[in-house]
Amino acid sequence: MKPIKIVIADDHKFLRSAWKIILENDQLFEVTGLAGTGEEAVTLVLQTMPDIILMDMLMPVMDGFKATRIIHSLAPNVRILGVSAEVNPVQVRQFLDSGAHGYVSKYARATELKEALLATIEGKRWICPHVTERFMNELPYEDNHPRVRPLLTRKEAAIAQMMQQGADRRTITRLLDLSDHSLEVHRTNIIRKLGIRKDSMLATVLPQLN
């Protein structure tokens, strides 16, 4: 069996080197290139045509989102596994929608990293467990092109927009014909789905969903 060819793209040199050592200690894997920016990642993928790339979501010059869209378009057979140190539900969903096939935390142990790579190569979607539990329970998936359904229902989106604009509870319940209890349930769902801690953060998060 030929080893799985991997490109590692991350702006931290130490992490790139550490992953290279970990993976090449296993005969299943062969690291064919290391990239520190999104531009380098695209160039390496097009030059070496690996089986899969470990793609940092946030890198200088060109971030992982744009690099993923380019690779997905120009080299659709290359699998893309996203990595990030911080879990942001909106960003993870957007990254998958850009063409990535899965996501694993930078803090994943070597065994989980290898498991994620193998699952992604086999055409499965891999989302690291704690992200799945918190944010991805209802995430749909198609192998060739993952799609993400809107984070919020129409009613939740309307409530969120009104909350962002400063509407009070009485105005929202009257205009949307909701009881106080129903509004509180929707508000709780909005905060949970967007991964925010308070209503005032809506002004930052909502523009990313448009």
pLDDT, tens digit, 9 for 90 and up, residues 28-76: 999 999 999 999 999 999 999 999 999 999 888 888 999 999 999 999 9
Looking at the chain, which runs of residues are DSSP E strands? 4-9, 29-35, 52-56, 79-84, 102-105, 126-127
What is the distance between the alpha carbons of residues 33 and 40, in angstroms, rounded to a whole number? 10
Angle (CA) 75-81-85 rounded to 5° is 135
Q: How many CB atoms lie within 10 A of CB 36?
A: 18
In 3D, which of 48, 92, 101 has the Cα closest to residue 72?
101
The ranges assigned to domains in the chain are 4-135, 154-209
CATH code of the region 4-135: 3.40.50.2300
What is the distance between the alpha carbons of residues 65 and 57, in angstroms, rounded to a whole number? 6
The pTM score is 0.64
pLDDT, tens digit, 9 for 90 and up, residues 3-37: 999 999 999 998 899 999 999 999 999 999 999 99
What is the distance between the alpha carbons of residues 113 and 25, in angstroms, rounded to a whole number? 13
Q: Specify the CATH class of 154-209 in words.
A: mainly alpha
> Fold identical between 4-135 and 154-209?
no
